[in-house]
C-alpha cells in the first residue's frame, strides 16, 4: 500500500516527470498564424522596437538566454528577444554523449572554427590547411539534457560549457563557451563560442 501511494505521488508530480530544459537549446515557432510572423524585439518586452522576425513555421531556433518569459535569439549580426509563449521546446537536441546537428565552435585572435564532419573533427584557421583529426569521443556530464560537452580527438580536446559568450566581432551572443587545447611541439589554447543553430 505504501509503494502504491508513493508511485501515485511520483506520477502526479510534473517536476519529477520531466526536467526543465537547460539553455542553449532549440525551439520551434508555434501558435503563430500562417500569414503572420513572430517578432524579434530589441528588449524583452512587448513594447520594445521590432528588429527582426521569425517565420510562423520556423524550426530549430537557438535560444541562448531566457528572461521573464522572453528568449534571446540571434538575428543578423545582432541579438533580440522573442516571446516564449510562441516557442515550443524540442526534446531531441541534447542526447547523451552526442553533438546536435549544427554544432560548431569558433573564435577570434586568431580566427578559428571547429566543426565535426562525420567521424572527423575539422579545425580551420586562415592561411593554414584544415586540420582533420579522427573524432575519438564526445562526452557529456550525465545530467539529463545538460549541453556541456567534451569533444576529444587525438592531440586535441574541446570543451563547451553553458555560459554567455560573445564572438567579439558582432553584437550576437551565444550560449556556449569553448576552450580548445591542441597538443603538439607548441601546445595551443584557443577560446571562443559554440552554436547549435543549423
Q: For residue 135, which phi and psi values (nearest 5 degrees)?
A: -80, 105
Quote the pLDDT of residue 7.
46
Report yes or no: 36 and 53 within 8 Å, Cβ to Cβ. no
Instruction: Name the one residue in this structure whose C-alpha cell is 573533427.
Output: 121
Residue 90, exposed/middle/buried by CB under 10 A (0-12, 13-18, 19+)?
Answer: middle
Reference 194, options 56, 67, 52, 24; nearest CA is: 24
Per-domain residue ranges of the chain: 2-89, 104-195
pLDDT band per the 50, 70, 90 thresholds, residue 18: low
**Of 106, 81, 103, 88, nearest to 168 (Cα)?**
106
Q: Residue 184: its pLDDT value, please?
A: 86
Whether residue 80 has pLDDT greater than 90: yes
Where residue 188 falls (left for φ over 0; alpha for ψ -120 to 50; beta otherwise) is: beta
What is the CATH class of 2-89?
A: mainly beta
139 phi and psi angles, rounded to 5 deg: -125, 140
Position 13 pLDDT exceeds 70: no
Residue 79: count other Cβ atoms within 10 Å of its Cβ.
21
What's the pLDDT at 5?
45
pLDDT of 59 higher than 50: yes
| Residue 198 in grid coordinates | 543549423
Helix (H, G, I), strand (E, B) or coil at 195: strand
Tell me, what's the pLDDT at 2? 46
Average pLDDT, the chain: 91
Confidence of residue 177 (pLDDT cuts 50, 70, 90): very high
Q: Is 15 helix (H, G, I), strand (E, B) or coil?
A: helix
Q: Which of the 8 DSSP states describes residue 1?
A: -
Alpha carbon distances (Å) from 73 to 44, 58, 99, 140: 11, 13, 20, 24
In a 3-state reduction of DSSP, which class is residue 6?
helix
Range 72-99 average pLDDT: 96
pTM of the model: 0.87
Amino acid at each position: 500500500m505504501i509503494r502504491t501511494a508513493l508511485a501515485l505521488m511520483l506520477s502526479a508530480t510534473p517536476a519529477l516527470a520531466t526536467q526543465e530544459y537547460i539553455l542553449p537549446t532549440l525551439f520551434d515557432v508555434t501558435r503563430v498564424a500562417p500569414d503572420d510572423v513572430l517578432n524579434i524585439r530589441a528588449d524583452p518586452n512587448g513594447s520594445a522596437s521590432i528588429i527582426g522576425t521569425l517565420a510562423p513555421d520556423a524550426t530549430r531556433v537557438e535560444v541562448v538566454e531566457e528572461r521573464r518569459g522572453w528568449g534571446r535569439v540571434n538575428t543578423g549580426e545582432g541579438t533580440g528577444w522573442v516571446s516564449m509563449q510562441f516557442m515550443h521546446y524540442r526534446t531531441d537536441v541534447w542526447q547523451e554523449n552526442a553533438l546536435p546537428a549544427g554544432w560548431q565552435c569558433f573564435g577570434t585572435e586568431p580566427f578559428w572554427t571547429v566543426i565535426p564532419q562525420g567521424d572527423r573533427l575539422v579545425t580551420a584557421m586562415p592561411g593554414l590547411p584544415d586540420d582533420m583529426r579522427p573524432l575519438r569521443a564526445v562526452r557529456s556530464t550525465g545530467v539529463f539534457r545538460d549541453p556541456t560537452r567534451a569533444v576529444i580527438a587525438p592531440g586535441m580536446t574541446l570543451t563547451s560549457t553553458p555560459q554567455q559568450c560573445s564572438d567579439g566581432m558582432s553584437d550576437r551572443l551565444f550560449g556556449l563557451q569553448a576552450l580548445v587545447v591542441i597538443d603538439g611541439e607548441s601546445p595551443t589554447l584557443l577560446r571562443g563560442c559554440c552554436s547549435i543553430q543549423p
